[in-house]
Chain A
C-alpha cells in the first residue's frame, strides 16, 4: 500500500521530535540485542574450544586403560593387567574387529630431558607409528618413528614444540641431535607440529619414542601396556568398534564384558557429553541476554505510552478530521517498531564489534543464527511493546482527545 510509505515517513518524523528520548529508548534495545549476540558468541566460543581440546585427543579414538592394580579389584579380578602384545594383535586382526583402523600400545612415563645444561620435564609416550596418526600429531620436520624403529628397539624420538623450545636455543636445529631422557641417550629424528595448548594440558610437552626402546631404557621390561589407543574407521562406527574391542578383551581374559577390568574412553561420547553441557551453558547465557532484551522492551512500551499521552491532542485532531482507528493504530505501531528495529540494527553492529575481542579468555564465535534471531526479536519487541500504547491511542474518543490539555 502506498499509504504504508507515508505512514513510515510520518512515524520517523514523530520519532525525530524528541531525539534524546528516542536514542535512550533505542539504547535499551541496543544493549539487549548486543548482549544476546555477544553472550551467544561466548557460549559458542566456549563449546568450540571444549570440542577442540577433545579433538586434540585424536580423531575417532577409543582409549582402553586398566582399572586394576589400584586396589579397587574385589577378588573376582583374574590376572593382573592384561593389555599386552596378544591383545594388540587380536584387536589388529580385521576379522575380529572390522571397525578398527589401528591399535597403538601406549606406555607413558614422565622424565627429565637434558640437553647440556638445559632440562625440561616432559611426558614420554612409548608407542608405534600409528599413535601419531590416531592422536593427530603431524611431523613438521624430519620423520616419524617407524615400525622398523619399534622392532629394532632404536633409541629415536619425535619431540613436541614445547620440548624443543625448552631444550634448544632459538634458531638452532634439534634434528639429529641427542638428548638424555633420564640416563639414556635418544636421537631426535622428527619435530612435531604444534597442536597448541588446549585447556589444561599442553599437548606440545611430549616426546614420542618406540615403546620397545622406552621399555628397555626407562620403564623396564614388562608384558603389559598402560593403555591402548584405538582408532576407529569412522565416527559413526566408533561405538561398534568399542563393543568389538570389549568382546575381544573379554574373550582373551575369560570374562564378560561387564566384568572387564578396563575402562574404555569413547571420544565420540565424550564429545556428546561436552557438547550437551556447553549447550546448557549457552542457553543459560542466552536467557541472561533475553532478560536484558525484555527490559529494553519495557522501555519501548513505557516511552510509547508517554508519547501517546503527550500527543493526545494530535490524535484528537487526526481522528476529528477523519483518521480511522486503524490508521492511528498503524501510525503508533510503526513508530515503536522503527525505534526498536533501529535499536536492533545498532545493537547487532555493536554485538559483532564486541565479539571480535577475547572476553574472559574465550574467543567468541558469532553464532550464525544469533543476528537474524536478535533482529527478529527486536522487531517483535517493537510490535508487541507498541501494541498496547497504539491501541490506547486508537481507542481515544476524538471529543475527549481534543479537550485534553
Chain B
C-alpha cells in the first residue's frame, strides 16, 4: 500500500491558487475501512485506505468495478460512514455526525456531479441550480443571481428556463456542474461524470473541469477511463479496496477551449 502523506502538500500543477504548506488539507482520510455483511459473510469494500487531498488538486480516482472506488466516493461525499478510520473534510471531523449534520456538510462543503446527471425533473435549469442554495437558506433574489452566474460560467446562459428533458446529456451535466459550484463548496466530487456522454461531449466537459481546476477549485473525480483520468493532476488507483498507485502528473490539455465550448453549445440547441 502506498501512503500519500509524504508528498501531499506539494502540488505538481497548480497555476490558479498559491500553494500553502501549512493549510489544512481538504480531504484527510486515514485507515478508512468499510465492510458490509453479505449473506452472513463480512465483505471489505475498502481496507485501510489513507489519502490526503489539498486545496487546488484535481484527483482522478481510478479502478475497475468492485475496486472500492464507489464506496470511497460515498465516504468522501458524506453519503456513507466508514466502519472505522478517520476522515476530516475541510477541517471538519466527520465522525459521529447525525443525519442532519451530514446534510449540512454535503450542502455547504461538497458539490456533487453524478454519472446520471441527477437533475430534478419538472424543474428548470435555473431552479435546479438554485436548489442547494435554497436548502442552505440563501435569499431568493441572491440565489437567483448566483445561479445565473454559475450557469453562464458553464456556458448555459441562454438555457436558464429549459427543463432537463429539453437539454442534451452534455448540457444536463453542465447544469449539474453549475449546481455543484453554485454553493462555492470546498470540494467538487464527480462520480463518472462522462460515463453517460459521447466522446465529443466528454471532451467539452473535461475542458470545463480543466477550467475549474485552473481557477483553483479542488476536484475529486471517480472514473475508470484512462483518457479521462489524464486531465487530472494526480491519479489514485484502487484495487480490491486498497490504493495501488498514487502519482502526480502533468494534466492533459483539452482539445477544445472552454470558450469554444460555450459558443458551440449555445449555438447548437438542437443537439441531443
Interface residues of A, Cβ cutoff 8 Å to B: 2-3, 6, 13-14, 16-17, 313-314, 316-325, 327, 397-399, 402
Contact = CB atoms under 8 A, between A and B. Distances in A.
B131 interface: yes
The 3 closest A-B pairs by CB, nearest first: A322-B107, A322-B135, A399-B79
Nearest to B123: A13
Interface string B67-98: 00000001001011000000000000000000
Main secondary structure of the interface of A (DSSP, over half): helix
23 contacts: A3-B137, A17-B121, A316-B118, A317-B114, A317-B119, A320-B77, A320-B79, A320-B112, A320-B118, A321-B107, A321-B135, A322-B103, A322-B108, A322-B183, A323-B103, A323-B135, A324-B99, A324-B100, A324-B135, A325-B100, A325-B103, A398-B79, A399-B74
A316 B100 CA distance: 14
Q: Which of B120, B136, B137 counts the most chain A CB atoms within 10 A?
A: B120
Interface residues of B, number: 28
Contacts of A320: 77, 79, 106, 112, 118
B220 to A, nearest CB: 15
Contacts of A324: 99-100, 103-104, 135
Contacts of B136: 322
B179 interface: yes
Contacts of A325: 99-100, 103
B77 A321 contact: no
Given A317-B120, A323-B103, A324-B100, A399 B80 contact: yes
Contacts of B7: none
B140 interface: yes
B167 interface: no
A330 to B, nearest CB: 12
Interface string B192-225: 0000000000000000000000000000000000
B132 interface: yes
A6 B135 CA distance: 11
B169 to A, nearest CB: 17
Contacts, number: 64
B112 A321 contact: yes
Contacts of A3: 134, 137
Contacts of B135: 318, 321-324, 327
Contacts of B100: 324-325
Contacts of A318: 120, 131, 135
Contacts of A322: 103-104, 106-108, 132, 135-136, 183
A322 B134 CA distance: 10
Interface string B124-149: 00000001101111001000000000
B10 interface: no
Interface centre among A6, A16, A317, A323 (most CB of B within 10 A): A317
Contacts of B250: none
B140 A6 contact: yes
Contacts of B120: 314, 317-318
B5 interface: no
Nearest to B182: A321
Given A320-B77, A322-B135, A323-B135, A17 B99 contact: no
A14 B127 CA distance: 14
Contacts of B132: 321-322
A317 B79 contact: no
Given A321-B106, A324-B99, A324-B104, 16 more contacts: A2-B140, A3-B137, A6-B134, A6-B140, A17-B121, A17-B122, A314-B120, A316-B118, A320-B79, A321-B132, A322-B108, A322-B135, A323-B135, A324-B135, A327-B135, A402-B118
A313 B106 CA distance: 17
Contacts of A6: 134, 140
Contacts of A13: 122-123
Contacts of B104: 322, 324
B11 to A, nearest CB: 28
A396 to B, nearest CB: 11
Contacts of B106: 320-322, 398
A205 to B, nearest CB: 70
Nearest to A324: B103
Nearest to B77: A320
A13 B103 CA distance: 24
Contacts of B140: 2, 6
Interface in B149-190: 179, 183
Contacts of B79: 320, 397-399, 402
A135 B79 CA distance: 83
Most chain A beta carbons < 10 A, residue from B99, B104, B137, B140: B99
